[in-house]
């Protein structure tokens, strides 16, 4: 029986950390060798980290990346390693080095370069032209990179037509809720259409606003997932593939046999001869997939942990209000960093309720975090006094005074941040950020916006799930049932300014994430004036969102790189 033992090295690389990434690659190679793997595969652009963005415009960075891949190759012996890096020949390419016996035997260059959503690869790379099939341990193997596999007639299909029995895809595919299932279905279809095994290795970890969820997996020629790695953590997934089963499958699929003539462009490369196989058969494990709320929670935890740690912050600081948003952010921070690295600050104003103070205090106690109380009433009164006397006289109070309170709190948080070097985590959610229901230089002040891409209704669901897995009310139950309020004036409620969140969030999803028109949204059953109001709020607050800190992407369309609209914009959609 012809078998191939493959290892998928799902690693957490850091952009620009060439030495750290090199060490991690070699560590995984050693582990794969101990397990008797014939081939070990790493994610897209493993050497540089993904996405390196405008670092690619620095010749020094590209050259050092080339030195690093050559050094890696010199230290790899009797195992085939496939490693993502940046290749250079007149121009630069998103590439995969095929390494064996201390040499780079061949290089595959990515052909389909994505330029949509958060991707901008046409800005940096030239596209590859050659399509290879490699002979590795008497098995025919096709290698391609990320976007290449998403095209039904792309490189993977051509490689299969040329005889490839295994298609390997190196990927760095950012997470959003629901994408994993879609990705697995797509790869399963490729396995069926090409009558081949497909091994998909994905990056894991956080990089600025992106989170990579891992979940590397292998499908057989029948499109069945036969092995799946862990989600949101590093893993080495090992499985033995019965390569002879590919021929048995293809003999029953005349369609692919009739297409063989289309494979004329493929070039063949011999990489590694057969070797004596270790005894036994590794079937490969299949990790379970979590429910949606857990998936989102894990993404938020990983994104927060990596942003804080990779940027060398020792602690994080959170303004605690006793509301659901700050409660969830504090819980995520503790999960990501541990209780000793999270500090809460309670800043009561004249309008802060006794219940909110109690809930924030109870939350801090339940999480085991340090909490400071810095009242803002006296500061607020002094602000108003000076401004009344020197600027605005007897003008009546309005949102100006509300925003002053938020900005006093922002100043306090940033002062503590500056004094101790701690990172401020902001607590605004996507519903608020969409509508501009936030104060510039106030509650928007900070370094990282953990739930910036999480709608308010989902905040409640994730928080409830968090309590469920903790098997106790870490987030106090009263936080879930009291009406949301900024508490910046007497008896204030969010619904004074916004539609109820169960109405607001579906409208926002339709307009912000799906680009539906005003008429389409009304036809979904929503009140026309409410839809107009929401659209107006979204459109006029682009300037605020441009000044917001980065936050973790968990939806198909997040603010920032995903959605780029002009601030100065006269288009009226209704």
d(CA 341, CA 204) in angstroms, rounded, equals 23
Above 80 in pLDDT, residue 216? Answer: yes
For residue 353, give its domain range: 292-494+540-546
Task: Clarify whether residues 241 and 358 are in a common domain.
Answer: no
Tell me, what's the pLDDT at 272?
78
CATH, residue 67: 3.60.110.10
pLDDT class for 361, splitting at 50, 70, 90? very high
- Residue 258: which pLDDT band, with cuts at 50, 70 and 90? low
Please pick, among 24, 110, 230, 452, the residue that the annotation labels catalytic: 110
pLDDT confidence of 492, banded at 50, 70, 90?
Answer: confident
H or E stretch including 523?
Answer: helix 518-523
Same domain, 18 and 151: yes
Tens of pLDDT, residues 344-358: 999 999 999 999 999
Burial class (CB in 10 A: 0-12, 13-18, 19+), 65: buried
Q: How far is CA 359 from CA 324, 356, 481, in A?
A: 10, 5, 12
The partner residues of 166 in beta bridges, in order of sequence, read 141, 197
| 286 domain-assigned | no
% of the chain exceeding 70 in pLDDT = 98
168 burial via Cβ count (<10 Å: 0-12, 13-18, 19+) = buried
The reply to whether 354 belongs to the active site is no
Is residue 530 a part of any domain in this protein? no
Tens-place pLDDT, residues 420-433 = 999 999 999 999 99
pLDDT given for residue 520 in this prediction: 96
- Shared-domain flag, residues 266 and 360: no
Looking up tokens 């862990």 gives 230
DSSP state of 388: I
Phi, psi of 108 (to 5 degrees): -100, 135
244 domain-assigned: yes
Residue 353 is part of a domain; what is its CATH number?
Answer: 3.40.50.620
Buried b (16+ CB within 10 A) or exposed e, 388-406: eeeeeeeeeeeeeebbbbb
**Which listed residue (24, 121, 139, 146) is catalytic?**
146
As a whole number of angstroms, the longest Cα–Cα distance in the chain is 90
Nearest to 485 by CA among 494, 477, 476, 473: 494
Q: Both 297 and 267 in a single domain?
A: no
For helices 324-337 and 292-310, give the axis angle rounded to 10 degrees.
60
Same-domain check for residues 88 and 145 = yes
268 plus 386 within the same structural domain: no
Same domain? 302 vs 264: no
For residue 104, pLDDT beyond 70: yes
In the predicted model, is pLDDT for residue 261 greater than 70? no
Whether residue 38 lies inside any domain: the answer is yes
Q: Is residue 561 part of a domain?
A: no
Looking at the fold, whether 249 and 146 belong to one and the same domain comes out as yes
Q: What is the pLDDT of residue 226?
A: 95
Instruction: Taking residues 97-120, report their average pLDDT.
Output: 94
Asked whether residue 312 carries a pLDDT value surpassing 60, the answer given is yes
Structural domain count of the chain: 2
Report pLDDT digits (tens) over 125-170.
Answer: 999 999 999 999 989 999 999 999 999 999 999 999 888 999 999 9
Mean per-residue pLDDT, 45-69: 96
CA atoms within 13 A on the CB side of 506: 12
If you ran DSSP here, which 8-state letter would residue 65 be given?
H
Q: What is the torsional sign of CA 321, 322, 324, 328?
A: positive
Model confidence band, residue 488 (pLDDT cutoffs 50, 70, 90): confident
pLDDT at 273: 81
Among 242, 272, 302, give the residue marking a domain's end: 272
Domain final residue, candidates 272, 306, 332: 272
Task: Give strand pairing partners of 211.
Answer: 206
**Are residues 23 and 80 both part of a single domain?**
yes
Task: Check: CB of residue 99 under 8 Å from CB of residue 72.
Answer: yes
Do 188 and 333 fall into the same domain? no
Is the domain of 367 the same as that of 219? no
pLDDT-based confidence at 570, cuts 50/70/90? Answer: confident
Asked if residue 234 belongs to a domain, the reply is yes
Strands 91-100 and 80-89: antiparallel
pLDDT at 305: 98
Q: Within a domain: residue 240? A: yes
Reported as a pLDDT band with limits 50, 70 and 90, residue 264 is low
Residue 254 has pLDDT above 80, yes or no: no
Give the list of residues 6+ apart from residue 312 with CB closer than 8 angstroms, or none.
none
Q: Are residues 419 and 340 in the same domain?
A: yes
Q: Which helix (H) or strand (E) holds 271?
A: strand 266-272
**Catalytic residue flag (residue 335):** no
pTM: 0.93
On whether residue 233 sits in a domain, the answer given is: yes
Whether 146 is catalytic is yes
Residue 255, number of CB atoms within 10 A of its CB = 9
In this structure, are residues 435 and 538 in contact, taking their beta carbons and an 8 Å threshold? yes
Alpha-carbon gap, residue 450 to 428, rounded angstroms? 8
- DSSP code at position 108: E
Catalytic residue among 24, 44, 456, 553: 44
Nearest Cα to Cα of residue 221 among 204, 239, 246, 186: 246
pLDDT at 562: 85
Q: How confident is the model at residue 263 (pLDDT cuts 50, 70, 90)?
A: low
- Structure confidence by residue, pLDDT tens digits, 528-569: 999 999 999 999 999 999 999 999 999 999 998 888 888 988
- For the record, the structure tokens of 45 come out as 């652009």
């Amino acid at each position: 029986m012809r078998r191939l033992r493959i290892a998928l090295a799902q690693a957490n690389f850091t952009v620009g950390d060439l030495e750290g990434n090199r060490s991690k690659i070699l560590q995984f190679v050693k582990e794969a060798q101990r397990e008797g793997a014939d081939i070990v595969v790493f994610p897209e652009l493993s050497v540089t980290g993904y996405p390196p963005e405008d670092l690619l415009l620095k010749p020094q960075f590209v050259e050092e990346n080339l030195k690093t891949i050559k050094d890696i190759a010199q230290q790899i012996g009797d195992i085939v390693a496939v490693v993502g890096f940046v290749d250079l020949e007149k121009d630069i390419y998103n590439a995969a080095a095929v390494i064996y016996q201390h040499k780079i035997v061949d290089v595959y260059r990515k052909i389909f370069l994505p330029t949509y959503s958060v991707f901008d690869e046409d800005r940096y790379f030239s596209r590859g032209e050659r399509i290879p099939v490699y002979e590795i341990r008497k098995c025919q193997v096709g290698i391609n990179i990320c976007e290449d596999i998403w095209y039904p007639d792309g490189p993977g299909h051509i490689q299969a037509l040329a005889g490839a029995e295994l298609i390997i895809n190196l990927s760095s595919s950012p997470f959003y809720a629901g994408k994993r299932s879609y990705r697995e279905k797509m790869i399963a279809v490729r396995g069926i259409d090409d009558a081949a095994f497909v091994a998909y290795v994905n990056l894991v970890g956080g990089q600025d606003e992106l989170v990579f969820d891992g979940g590397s997996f292998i499908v057989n020629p029948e499109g069945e997932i036969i092995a799946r790695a862990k989600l949101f953590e590093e893993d080495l997934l090992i499985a033995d593939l019965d390569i002879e089963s590919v021929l048995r499958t293809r003999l029953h699929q005349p369609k692919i046999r009739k297409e063989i003539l289309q494979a004329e462009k493929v070039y063949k490369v011999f990489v590694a001869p057969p070797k004596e196989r270790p005894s036994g058969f590794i079937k490969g494990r299949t990790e379970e997939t979590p429910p949606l709320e857990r998936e989102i929670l894990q993404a938020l935890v990983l994104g927060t942990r990596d942003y804080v740690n990779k940027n060398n912050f020792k602690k994080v600081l959170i303004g605690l209000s006793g509301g659901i948003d700050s409660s969830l952010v504090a819980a995520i921070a503790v999960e990501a960093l541990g209780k000793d690295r999270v500090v809460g600050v309670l800043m009561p104003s004249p309008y802060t309720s006794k219940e909110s103070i109690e809930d924030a205090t109870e939350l801090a106690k339940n999480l085991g975090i340090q909490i400071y109380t810095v009242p803002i009433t006296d500061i607020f009164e002094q602000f108003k006094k000076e401004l009344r006397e020197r600027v605005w006289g007897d003008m009546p109070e309005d949102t100006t005074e509300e925003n002053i309170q938020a900005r006093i709190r922002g100043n306090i948080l940033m002062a503590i941040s500056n004094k101790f070097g701690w990172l401020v985590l902001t607590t605004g959610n996507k519903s608020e950020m969409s509508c501009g229901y936030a104060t510039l230089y106030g509650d928007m002040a900070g370094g990282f916006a953990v739930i910036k891409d999480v709608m308010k209704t989902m905040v409640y669901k994730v928080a409830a799930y968090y309590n469920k897995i903790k098997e106790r009310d870490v987030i106090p139950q009263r936080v879930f049932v009291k009406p949301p309020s900024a508490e910046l004036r007497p008896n204030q409620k969010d619904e004074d300014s916004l539609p109820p969140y169960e109405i607001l969030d579906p409208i926002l999803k339709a307009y912000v994430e799906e680009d539906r028109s005003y008429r389409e949204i009304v036809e979904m059953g929503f009140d026309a004036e409410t839809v107009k109001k929401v659209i107006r709020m979204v459109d006029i607050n682009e300037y605020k969102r441009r000044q917001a800190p980065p936050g973790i992407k968990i939806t198909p369309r997040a603010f920032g790189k995903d959605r780029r609209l002009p601030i100065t914009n006269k288009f009226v959609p209704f």
